[in-house]
């Protein structure tokens, strides 16, 4: 994924972004959601985008709505209903919208690479 250039034009969420977030919230998910991400692109093993509704907003504006954020490494990406959910070690992010032109392709690339990853066997079998 090296060489992927990300361009964010604005931190302001459009009416379309807000509608997609509303639809995701109305759908519900199997497990609790940490936050909703907009304008998402996968870079390396993490996702970058504009956050909305993060459950761990900080007192100094960390994770406030409209802020850019990058997730920790993605453990898996699964489709739940109409939305993609990215699981990291300690969080679950719903992709509300992808970055125009490259977002969906970066997810496809991530899924292709992660499906071909070599999984190390356990060090010992009990």
Q: Could you give the strand order of the β-sheet that contains 68-70, starting from the edge strand earlier in sequence? A: 68-70, 46-52, 35-43, 92-95, 83-88, 74-80
Taking only the tens place, the pLDDT of each residue in 57-80 is: 888 878 888 899 999 999 999 999
The upper half-sphere exposure of residue 79, i.e. CA atoms within 13 Å in the direction of its Cβ, equals 5
The percentage of residues in the chain with a pLDDT greater than 90, rounded to a whole number, is 67
Total-model pTM: 0.82
pLDDT in tens, 40-57: 999 999 999 999 999 998
Euclidean distance between CA atoms 102 and 90, whole angstroms: 26
DSSP state of 89: S
């Amino acid at each position: 994924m090296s060489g992927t250039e990300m361009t964010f034009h604005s931190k302001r969420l459009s009416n379309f972004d807000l509608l997609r977030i509303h639809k995701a919230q109305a759908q519900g998910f199997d497990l609790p959601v940490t936050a909703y991400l907009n304008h998402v692109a996968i870079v390396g093993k993490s996702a970058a985008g504009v956050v909305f509704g993060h459950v761990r907003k900080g007192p100094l504006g960390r994770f406030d709505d409209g802020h850019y954020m990058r997730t920790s490494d993605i453990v898996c990406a699964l489709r739940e209903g109409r939305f993609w959910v990215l699981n990291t070690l300690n969080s679950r992010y719903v992709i509300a919208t992808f970055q125009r032109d490259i977002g969906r392709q970066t997810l496809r690339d991530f899924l292709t690479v992660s499906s071909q990853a070599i999984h190390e066997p356990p060090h010992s079998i009990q």
